[in-house]
Amino acid sequence: DAGVTQTPRHEVAEKGQTIILKCEPVSGHNDLFWYRQTKIQGLELLSYFRSKSLMEDGGAFKDRFKAEMLNSSFSTLKIQPTEPKDSAVYLCASSLDGSQNTLYFGAGTRLSVL
């Protein structure tokens, strides 16, 4: 079985640009998570979907970050407009339904905003 696939692996953007990151979860997984990872803040939850429904929108990340789950096998994270402080690794993870289930992570997208 394929794991979680994230594209692109690297993204360089100019300040003010719009970027879209993509994620394909493990087939059959109902839960999908977007995290931002930085050395200072660690893993911060951006969005959480259950069966395509948005359950958590990440509070502080609402204004410029928007995650969507167009179907059960594809999700996007849009950052608009980008700022230099958005430079980080963006991770997508999926799991089976239920709180006892573990997360499977993608390899991440490293975003650099100039």
Partner 1 sequence: AQKVTQTQTSISVVEKTTVTMDCVYETRDSSYFLFWYKQTASGEIVFLIRQDSYKKENATVGHYSLNFQKPKSSIGLIITATQIEDSAVYFCAMREGDTNAYKVIFGKGTHLHVLP
Task: Mark residues 28-67: x for contact with partner 1 by CB under 8 A, - for none.
Answer: ---x-x-x-----xxx-x--x-x----xx-----------
Our finding on whether 114 is near partner 1 (CB under 8 A) is: no
Tell me the DSSP string of the chain: ----EEE-SEEEE-TT--EEEEEEPPTT--EEEEEEEETTTEEEEEEEEETTEEEE--GGGTTTEEEEEEETTEEEEEESS--GGG-EEEEEEEE-SSTTPPPEE---EEEEE-
Shortest Cβ distance from residue 47 to partner 1 (Å)?
10
Asked whether position 100 contacts partner 1 by CB under 8 A, the answer is: yes
Residue ranges in contact with partner 1 by CB under 8 A: 31, 33, 35, 41-43, 45, 48, 50, 55-56, 89, 91, 93, 98-100, 102-105, 107-108
